Amino acid sequence: MTNLALVIVLLAALMTPLLMAKFKMSYLPTAVAEIIVGIILGTSGFHLIVSTPTLTELSTLGVTVLIFLSGMEIDFDLFKKQPTPTDPQLKVQPSPVRLAITSFAFILLISFGLSGLLAWSGLFKDIGLATILFSTIALGVVIAALKEKELLSQPLGQTILLIAVLGEIIPLVALTVYSSLNNPGSKSLWLLSLIFVAAIYLLVRFKGVYHFFARIDKSTTQLDIRLAFFLIITLVSIAEEVGAESILGAFLAGMVMKLLRPREETTDKLTSIGYGFFIPIFFIMTGAKLDLPALLADRKSLSLIPFFFIGFMLSKAATYWVLKRRFKQTNAIAGTFLSATTITLVLPILTVGLNLKTITEQQSGAFTLAAILSCILGPILFNRFYQPTPEDLPRKRVKFIGANIMTIPIAQQLSNGLYTTQLFTDNQGNYEIYHSAADLTLLPDLSEDSLVTSGAFDADIIILGYLNHEQNYRLAQLALDAKVPRIIARFEAKDILDEKYDQLKEQGVEVFNTYEANISLLRSLIETPSTLQIIDNTDAGLFEVTVQNRRFTGLQISNLPFVDQVTISRIYRNQELIMPHGDTQIHLNDHLILTGNKKAVPAIRQQLETRN
């Protein structure tokens, strides 16, 4: 019977996304669909799925992996100070971190107020437990919905994600404190700090050796995956020993893994393991365990359901006005509905309440059903109201240090396309000549402090355009220290005794030399005259796009949705050029060299470079 139940759950996990695709159920997130399938096949429906020790263990591991992956989704770059625009006419947009903290502060206040009203009415007297319940957010469901809309790398998605993170981690800590205060036999609260100390120790311990793992790793060892599960089990075990919730340890393990800066392949493998096996079992078993007929048959619990459901929705209502400060109205509404979803933490919170006898079975059942309704309606309404905006199109930030007759025209042309450009110079004369032609900032000097203060290194690509190669070399070292993703340096000197040219190349800096570029261009014009025509053509062109969307990884070129609009002439992968064919598979971080209509490229770039 145990094996049969497991087979049915795995078959349901396999068939659910297939049926959703067949019937085009795009408004229902996969996680919610899996809960509904569990309800149909479980206690409330056909009784085909029964809880067994194996399924219970796998479901527990599923929620642990889900929360671990949630910790890995945090973009810590969001916590960096946002650079101030040099143009005083530009308005500084509120950062996702500020919006998320403000939103959750309102959520806590409203949750406390609603809990007080429930206590005053006599429907539910435990204000502390109700406040924790109303402030929770289903981080797993939120991530699943954002992934399907490919919003995790966009400001709106990151803001909603951070709100959900606060709606998971703060109630987790609050639940631990609540349990300790209401359970005389519980461990001291100061022990809770040990799990954070352990997380910091593991981060420091493995930060220095993690890249050594990458060098010695091979297909039969998979050291990165072994390390990930070591972190999960260690921190979960410590959390349980100090009296905290196990999922708090899993979340901290995910944050530690993220701060170790794992390779994209590692993140991809962990995501595949989680969403491919463990996490669907958790969602399906969550639905299978619910006994809806018993809940609905009880009049008292039935009367409580609408009050608790309204509480879950109203507690997140103020999020709309906070999100509206930066995002359009429909997307603010969409984000508010998505942040109102809750299910993941509700079940363990109710279990703690039942064990402490601070909540009745009827109240627990009503909270559970209200949470399920919010979990179903929230993502559906999010998908209904969300509308893509121009800011969803990734625009790379290009910064030029050095303003002259070469950099100014390039910046002007790039600004008309898929890039935002800004130039910096310490030359007063050049500033007076060019400042009206481009976004140009005059620096007092080219010291590190001046460059950092002005935000010159807050870029995706930085071009060092001074004629003085010694100056560019020094600036390149500063840019490398600032971890600018891509650095292009002008280096006109051809002294064979000067090692700086080779040093820059070894450090990953792309070196530009006018003499060599002219030779290459003239040779191309002689040997392949059509190449120059492609580059100069106003309707067609040569483009490079980086694959960052996991939705396209593993697809053959012939199956790409835009294959009829452009031609993929080369693929640059792992520092090697590949001649593509129709059956060539796309890999994450592939650089695709495209030729085709310029008007089609922005949409293609948006699809391929949207992080998911």
Res 499: pLDDT: 76
pLDDT for 24 beyond 50? yes
- Residue 77: both structure tokens together: 């770059």
Q: What integer pLDDT is reported at residue 324 of this predicted model?
A: 92
pLDDT at 530 over 80: no
Q: Give the best-scoring range by mean pLDDT among 181-185, 341-345, 391-395, 420-424.
A: 420-424
pTM of the predicted structure, to 2 decimals? 0.68
CB-CB contact of 513 with 574 (8 Å): no
Residue ranges of domains in the chain, CATH in brackets: 2-78+95-392 (1.20.1530.20), 396-519 (3.40.50.720), 530-609 (3.30.70.1450)
Q: 391 or 102: whose pLDDT is higher?
A: 102
pLDDT number for residue 86: 44
pLDDT in tens, 476-502: 999 888 888 889 988 876 665 467 777
pLDDT at 92: 60
What is the average pLDDT value for the chain, to the nearest integer?
81
pLDDT score of 335 more than 80? yes
Candidate from 322-326, 436-440, 497-501 with smallest mean pLDDT: 497-501
H helices present in 358-427, as ranges: 361-385, 407-415
DSSP designation for 84: P
Q: Are strands 591-597 and 419-425 parallel, antiparallel or unpaired?
A: unpaired
Q: Which residue has the tokens 């619910």?
A: 290
Residues 6+ apart with CB under 8 A from 181: none
- Per-residue pLDDT at 186 exceeds 60: no
**The pairing of beta strand 440-442 with beta strand 566-573:** unpaired
Structure tokens at 377: 């309606």
Residue 511 confidence class, pLDDT cut points 50, 70, 90 = confident
Task: Report pLDDT for 314.
Answer: 94
* Pairwise pLDDT comparison (580 vs 14), residue with the higher score: 14
- 311 pLDDT above the threshold of 80: yes
**pLDDT digit string, tens, across residues 125-184:** 889 889 999 999 988 788 878 877 878 777 888 899 889 988 988 887 888 788 777 766
CA atoms within 13 A on the CB side of 589: 9
Task: Compute the average pLDDT of residues 264-290.
Answer: 86
Distances (CA, A) of 118 to 122, 131, 171, 311: 6, 10, 19, 9
